């Protein structure tokens, strides 16, 4: 997950660059869609992964921008010479699907950001807990060594052994 976070979360690209990259992604998807349509004769849905990728990598505006490009390319590719109800219904449904895909990508991006932040918080809390535990064990070892000074030789040896065990635990 930490390998994905720089790609998805830690970029500060200017808006024109983000839109340019989104347009490039959509251009690649449009070329693939047109090639598929020429080979099979039926329209494909290769524009939606481009919308999802643009929305996931950048932000909502880039996803919506990619959705607008997808709708325009889809309308161009599906135009058969007449503007009937089938043409408008199909393109309206595709527009809704593209906008939904952009929204899902933004939701995924927000959840990924939340998970990465929770992971960082968890790591910090675990480090703090390990530090405090080590401090507490060191204090206990010091207190036992103080008590060992006031006891007899047998008690002092036993308490010193206990203090050494606590020191080993603190280091672990």
Over range 62-75, report the average pLDDT: 86
pLDDT digits (tens, 9 = 90+) for 116-143: 899 999 999 999 998 998 888 888 888 8
Q: What is the pLDDT of residue 142?
A: 85
Query: What is this structure's pTM?
Result: 0.66
Residue 10: pLDDT band (50, 70, 90) is: low
* Residue 22 and residue 66 in contact, taking contact as beta carbons nearer than 8 Å: yes
Q: What burial letters (b/e) apply to 12-39, b meaning 16+ CB within 10 Å?
A: eeeeeebbebbbebbeebbeebbeeeee
Rounded average pLDDT over 27-55:
83
Read off the tokens for 164: 């050494």
pLDDT interval class at 3 (50, 70, 90): low
Q: What are the domain boundaries of the chain?
A: 4-115, 125-171
Averaged pLDDT for residues 32-43: 81
């Amino acid at each position: 997950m930490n390998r994905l976070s720089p790609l998805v979360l830690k970029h500060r690209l200017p808006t024109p660059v983000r839109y340019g990259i989104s347009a490039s992604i959509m251009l690649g998807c449009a070329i693939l869609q047109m090639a598929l349509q020429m080979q099979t004769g039926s329209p494909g849905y290769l524009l939606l992964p481009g919308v999802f990728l643009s929305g996931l990598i950048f932000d909502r505006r880039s996803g919506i921008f990619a959705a607008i490009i997808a709708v325009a390319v889809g309308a161009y590719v599906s135009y058969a010479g007449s503007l009937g109800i089938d043409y408008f219904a199909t393109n309206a449904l595709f527009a809704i699907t593209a906008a939904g895909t952009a929204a899902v990508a933004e939701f995924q991006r927000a959840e990924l950001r939340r998970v990465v932040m929770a992971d960082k918080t968890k790591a910090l809390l675990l480090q703090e807990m390990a530090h405090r535990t080590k401090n507490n064990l060191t204090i206990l070892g010091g207190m036992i060594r103080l008590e060992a000074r006031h006891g007899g030789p047998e008690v002092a040896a036993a308490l010193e052994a206990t203090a050494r065990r606590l020191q080993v635990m603190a280091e672990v």
